[in-house]
Amino acid sequence: RHLYFPCVRAGFTKSQAAFACFLFSAVFHEVLVSIPFHMVRVYAFAGMLGQMPLVFITKRLEKSFGQTYWWPVVGNVVFWVTFCVVGQPMSVLMYYYDIVSVAKETAGEVGTSVAKELPNLISEAAAAAINATKAAMHHTEL
């Protein structure tokens, strides 16, 4: 509502306004993940933009099958499977893989074992991500 409706009032089409919202959200999610992990990857960005086709697919399925009493269940199942079962765990695994790869490269270059420091790095990154999320949630509540 803070970005979509102003875009529509500014003359954007509904699709353009939706794309602007998804793009803004994708950039914001990537920043929130990249800063704590100290590495820029496009996994969060791609994950957010990858949700946009789901909106159009869901609307097309709704038009094909019609609005029936069971349709909200189907929409919820599509969302939860793609977002929570597949999307977020896959993203976490990709970021974890990259953190471990960077740690191994660093250990090889420096000649020291980073394996002892890896749990601290992960816990610091997780704490920073949690704090950033709390700060963002506090900002939206104002």
**Close Cβ partners of 29 (under 8 Å, ≥ 6 residues apart):** 44, 45, 47, 48
pLDDT average, residue stretch 7-13: 91
Q: Can you give the pLDDT at residue 122? A: 66
Query: Are 44 and 32 a contacting pair, CB within 8 Å?
Result: yes
> Which residue is catalytic, options 29, 38, 138, 139?
29
- Determine the straight-line distance between the first and last CA of the chain, rounded to whole angstroms: 15
pLDDT average, residue stretch 75-83: 77
DSSP 11: T
Q: Can you give the pLDDT at residue 71? A: 67
Q: What is the C-alpha separation between 54 and 71, in angstroms, rounded?
A: 15
User: Has 2 been annotated as catalytic?
Assistant: no
- Check pLDDT > 50 for residue 128: yes
Query: Are 118 and 98 a contacting pair, CB within 8 Å?
Result: no
